[in-house]
Chain A
Amino acid sequence: MRTTQKDNPALQIKPKAPETAIWRHHHILDVDDFSREEIELVFHTTKAMKEVLSRPIKRVPTLRGKTLITLFYEPSTRTRLSFELAAKNLSADVANLSASVSSVAKGESLVDTLSTLQALGADIVVMRHPRSGAPYIATKYIEASIVNAGDGWHAHPTQALLDLYTIQEHRESLKGLKVVIIGDIMHSRVARSNIWGLTTMGVEVTLCCPPTLLPVGLGSQHHFPSVSIEPNIELALDGADIVMTLRLQLERQQSGLLPSIREYIQLYQLTEARLARAKPDALVFHPGPVNEGIEISPNVAHGPQSVINEQVTNGVAVRMALLYLLTGSQKQ
């Protein structure tokens, strides 16, 4: 886990990118492993990948001969597709394994499955799993690079990086921006990864949610000086540059964390009226899939301030950038 980054003075002038860069991550598990310089390198590489995506032939031979296998224990069409396209654009060979949690019941453990992937020659495994920490086991039992596509409540680093990239496409500098995250922070890996990524880049983060959905300790100014808590959505949105809404899982009411979905909508739905309290050019984010009418009104989701579709496009570019950077790490 990181504390703070040393400010690199060279980053404040606009320098020429260095000829080579030391990318020391063999795996991509969480954003809080990344320094500010590394995140900047991801942005830089993503920009080049976006150029590739603008060509008629969206393909480069960079990962030719490499095998990427997606191992998804949770269903997800869009994230998996995004990774698959990213890999194919780089000319990697792609295979998909949809292990369901029932294969665990059949007796095949995670470690067994990983051994199989190793035997099949996977160079990169993209893993999504319902339990926090699962990709960390993978790093101990397989030689391939592990890319975390979401583990339990813990992390979704590629989502955070594409969110950060999308912000900086619109705003040039992240430092000093006010970002508000609204929703079920407790159970959200997207929220966690975004919080670590945003604070690393010097952003002021406000968390807005019912107190029962706020994880312990985030209100501590001592540990998280750039994070503030504001359960009232109107106050939270005042002067915001960026608004990130999270998907509300409907099971939360059943586990007693919310009295009702109705009340959540009344208190926390991002409506046009509420959005108007943010800056006039404020951007609206959502990691998808969107529960229209619950955490966000349809008008806002499809409105002019929404960048939800850009997030998806940038997702492929960011993932291409990360896969490129990972192949460099494999020889170290």
Chain B
Amino acid sequence: MPKKVIMTQEDMRRTLARIAHELIERNELLENLILVGMHTRGVPLAKRLAANIEGFAETKIPVGTLDISLYRDDLSSLNLQPVVKHTDIPTSVDGKSIVLVDDVLYTGRSIRAAMDALTDLGRPHLIQLAVLVDRGHRELPIRADYVGKNIPSSKHEEIQVKLKETDGVDEVTIISTPVAKEGQ
């Protein structure tokens, strides 16, 4: 299947640096910030952002992980049951500014589930969203506050994000999946 690299390792490094700067710029009270990575690839991304912020602003930002399996709205139609992973947020969320971090923003349903999960954990002051890639095709009124790259895509294409921590390499590719022909 035809595959095209949209972001190289260097592209990703620069993008994450830029997002970190944006986070610092738009959040006056950095001490109130928590980065919450969404399983699976949102987690290493959140950690990298936290490291960047610590490098640029000399402030250590807590990083949490969030699993949304228990909040999905599509459990009845999935073929396989998602394995529940761990939700672990090191401090209380009450009154905090949460930045959800995910690799790809698509329909927006995962983010809706994540917001439900966060509000069950407490009452955050603010929830923002940072994504590496926004590929469009939203099904809910959700938008990202920080976007690495906008990649307009068709429904027959797949955006694949690979990270060193999980896949051994840093790369974002777009793959065309075969379209079913009429009558087949």
Q: Do A and B come from one complex?
A: yes
Give A contacts to B, CB under 8 Å: 17-23, 41, 44-45, 47-49, 51-52, 55-57, 59-62, 90, 321, 324-325, 327-332
**Contacts of A325 on B, CB cut-off 8 Å?**
81
Give per-residue flags for B35-77: 1 if the beta carbon is below 8 A from chain A beta carbons, else 0. Answer: 0000010000000000000000000000000010111100111
Q: A52-B70, A57-B120, A61-B71 are in contact. Are A47 and B81 (CB under 8 A)?
A: no
Cross-chain contact B87 with A17 (CB below 8 angstroms): no
Task: Report how far A279 CA is from B77 CA in the complex, Å.
Answer: 49
B1 CB-CB contact with A under 8 Å: no
Instruction: For B84, give its contact among A45, A57, A59, A332 (CB under 8 Å).
Output: A45
Cross-chain contact A44 with B83 (CB below 8 angstroms): yes
B88 CB-CB contact with A under 8 Å: yes
Task: Report how far A60 CA is from B40 CA in the complex, Å.
Answer: 20
**Contacts of B116 on A, CB cut-off 8 Å?**
61
Cross-chain contact A56 with B122 (CB below 8 angstroms): yes
Size class of B's contact patch? 20 to 34
Cross-chain contact B71 with A60 (CB below 8 angstroms): yes
Give per-residue flags for B111-128: 1 if the beta carbon is below 8 A from chain A beta carbons, else 0. Answer: 000001100111000000
Cross-chain contact B82 with A61 (CB below 8 angstroms): no
Cross-chain contact B80 with A328 (CB below 8 angstroms): yes
Instruction: For A44, give its contact among B70, B72, B84 (CB under 8 Å).
Output: B84
**Contacts of B70 on A, CB cut-off 8 Å?**
48, 52, 60-62, 90, 324
B86 CB-CB contact with A under 8 Å: yes
Instruction: For A19, give its contact among B71, B76, B83 (CB under 8 Å).
Output: B83
B85 CB-CB contact with A under 8 Å: yes
Task: Report how far A299 CA is from B106 CA in the complex, Å.
Answer: 59
Q: A56-B122, A60-B120, A62-B71 are in contact. Are A51 and B77 (CB under 8 A)?
A: no
Which residues B117-155 have CB closer than 8 A to chain A? 117, 120-122
A21-B80, A41-B83 given; 8 more Cβ-contact pairs under 8 Å? A20-B81, A21-B81, A44-B83, A48-B67, A61-B70, A324-B81, A328-B78, A330-B76
Which of B71, B72, B76, B121: most chain A Cβ within 10 A?
B76
**CB-CB nearest in chain B for A17:** B83
Cross-chain contact B78 with A331 (CB below 8 angstroms): yes
Task: Report how far A17 CA is from B86 CA in the complex, Å.
Answer: 11
Task: Report how far A32 CA is from B63 CA in the complex, Å.
Answer: 41
Which residues B86-124 have CB closer than 8 A to chain A? 86-88, 116-117, 120-122
Closest chain B CB from A7 CB (angstroms): 21
